[in-house]
Chains A and B, each alone.
Chain A
């Protein structure tokens, strides 16, 4: 029997394109996932699926149309509240729900959302606040906390430079028209249950034609916080709630107005290791900023038609170092004066989903960076293997991490080599170095057509900003190579 939350969702998500038809695209521990279940559950519980039109955002929440079994309209970035205005006016009997994130609603779409709220449009806006842009790689959003490190505030958000966090509920609470404004969280069980009740309220207001409702949901983003899911949830309950206190700001249905409850929840901010503003180091000049550091210079490629083109594909989860492994091979080729191209590909979900990159090396100029038929495929997990193994050329080779159990056999004429990369990296005490283990296998089994010394130098060069890590990784590479079993011949 399906749970009520599942009744609000499609039985399978085939358009999502994951190996498992019931898997979402969200990262492990994503607040969107929990919020998606709550929304689906409430929609089904109130028997409103046939009346509901969701307006989907741009951001990590974009794919809710894969999951929620109701009508959907997908809006351009930031425009969900504008599109929802049109939907709600055209279909006054519908339950219209805009689902937006903080980059979407708080930045590019703030005016759309704010004016819709000011006009009292008859839709509910569910606003996911995870304090940054998730899909595009963790950049600062208007909601980023003071001192919070993001990819565009690497030294902590400095209010003198980039302003203070935007309090969307508090700002909207100055408007006349909204009938309901609240902020909840999905960071722990009690908060999840409060969030569920608040989502229910938003749907009830829309069901009864009540008017504009805004529900902000604080959500952890473990990937872009750079924390494990439990620490991310703790950050959400600690640092984020101190900036964004939970509470019902307004619920005219109950005749209550004001933000007393929210103010009571606010606490004096103790020091946090995550929230420290540091001075931004200044580069002396553009020339210095963009100069190639010592050791990185490579000579221009030499044209040598005797060196054949070789095409590589590297695939795994984002976060497994797949992209850097590809860069390493491309850099090694560059050091040998070959032409080399590196081409990354990843989805909106970053660490939760698949990442891959293509590398082409050649003695002559390369036409396209797209690798449809690789000579060598490196897979860190089973989903990558299932996706790409069939593309490998006859006579080619596949390196597959041993954690991928029950892998079907490779295509005829393709050599499948199982490498204990993740396990070996763990045994060597550096779990993040599974990619270096794969590099060791590429080198030991002569799969790159490159000089072993170039591969090692390219690895070291990738750590040029952290010389102590360069030496350590050289050591790891050699150690891994000595632990890998010998193979007859080699695919070179």
Chain B
């Protein structure tokens, strides 16, 4: 998966649980770095989910707070620290 391209390098990044996404687009619209996109393939729930573009995340957590789902999205801020 594309969003795993930088996994493990310590850079901040949003981590999506793709099948929990309902495709509302609030995270992508809110991201100040515009580094989240809506995917073209359906997830298991039958919607087109959000995903990380692969670069640009600064770990601000904005996407997390805009997401209505508790477990669809978290932000890793280097060293494995999660979003507030």
Residues of A within 8 A of B29 (CB): 230
B70 touching A381 by the CB < 8 A rule?
no
Kindly state whether residue B65 has any CB partner on chain A within 8 Å.
yes
A103 to B73, CA, bound (A): 31
A20 touching B62 by the CB < 8 A rule?
no
A380 touching B46 by the CB < 8 A rule?
yes
Residues of A within 8 A of B24 (CB): 28-29, 222, 229
Kindly state whether residue A372 has any CB partner on chain B within 8 Å.
no
Determine chain B's interface SS by DSSP, over half rule. Answer: loop
A22 touching B65 by the CB < 8 A rule?
no
A381's contact among B17, B25, B45, B69, by CB below 8 Å, is which? Answer: B45
Chain B residues with a Cβ closer than 8 Å to the other chain, count: 30
Q: Report if A22-B46 is in contact (Cβ < 8 Å); known contacts: A3-B82, A29-B26, A67-B70.
A: no
- How many whole Å from B27's CB to the nearest CB in chain A? 10
B30 touching A188 by the CB < 8 A rule?
yes
Residues of B within 8 A of A230 (CB): 25-26, 29
Q: Report if A23-B65 is in contact (Cβ < 8 Å); known contacts: A36-B70, A405-B42.
A: no
A458 to B2, CA, bound (A): 46
- How many whole Å from A397's CB to the nearest CB in chain B? 21
Kindly state whether residue A50 has any CB partner on chain B within 8 Å.
no
Residues of A within 8 A of B17 (CB): 22
Count chain A CB atoms within 10 A of each CB in B19, B62, B69 and give the residue with the most: B69
A19 touching B65 by the CB < 8 A rule?
no
In the complex, which residue of chain B has the Cβ closest to the Cβ of A222? B24
Chain A contacts with B in 212-252, Cβ cutoff 8 A: 222, 228-230, 233
Kindly state whether residue B47 has any CB partner on chain A within 8 Å.
yes
Q: Report if A2-B82 is in contact (Cβ < 8 Å); known contacts: A28-B22, A29-B24, A189-B65.
A: yes
Kindly state whether residue A406 has any CB partner on chain B within 8 Å.
yes
In the complex, which residue of chain B has the Cβ closest to the Cβ of A196? B65
Kindly state whether residue A79 has any CB partner on chain B within 8 Å.
no
A29 touching B68 by the CB < 8 A rule?
yes
- How many whole Å from B38's CB to the nearest CB in chain A? 11
Q: Report if A3-B64 is in contact (Cβ < 8 Å); known contacts: A22-B20, A33-B69.
A: yes
A403 to B71, CA, bound (A): 23
Count chain A CB atoms within 10 A of each CB in B17, B22, B47, B67 and give the residue with the most: B22
Chain B contacts with A in 21-77, Cβ cutoff 8 A: 22-26, 29-30, 42, 44-47, 62, 64-71, 74
Residues of A within 8 A of B66 (CB): 34, 188-189, 192
A31 to B66, CA, bound (A): 9
A188 to B31, CA, bound (A): 11
Residues of B within 8 A of A2 (CB): 82
Chain A contacts with B in 20-63, Cβ cutoff 8 A: 20, 22-24, 26-34, 36-38, 40-41
B45 touching A24 by the CB < 8 A rule?
no
- Interface 1/0 per residue, A309-344 and B, CB below 8 Å: 000000011000000000000000000000000000
A381 to B42, CA, bound (A): 10
Residues of B within 8 A of A6 (CB): 70-71, 74
Between-chain CB contacts (< 8 Å), 19 pairs: A1-B81, A3-B74, A3-B83, A3-B84, A6-B71, A9-B70, A23-B20, A23-B71, A26-B69, A28-B24, A29-B26, A33-B67, A36-B70, A37-B65, A40-B70, A192-B65, A222-B24, A316-B46, A383-B44
Which residues of B are interface residues toward A (Cβ below 8 A)?
17, 19-20, 22-26, 29-30, 42, 44-47, 62, 64-71, 74, 80-84
Extra 15 A-B pairs, beta carbons < 8 Å, given A1-B81, A381-B45: A3-B74, A20-B44, A26-B68, A28-B47, A29-B26, A32-B68, A33-B70, A37-B67, A37-B68, A37-B70, A222-B24, A230-B25, A230-B26, A230-B29, A406-B44
Which residues of A are interface residues toward B (Cβ below 8 A)?
1-6, 9, 19-20, 22-24, 26-34, 36-38, 40-41, 67, 188-189, 192-193, 196, 222, 228-230, 233, 316-317, 352, 380-383, 401, 403-406
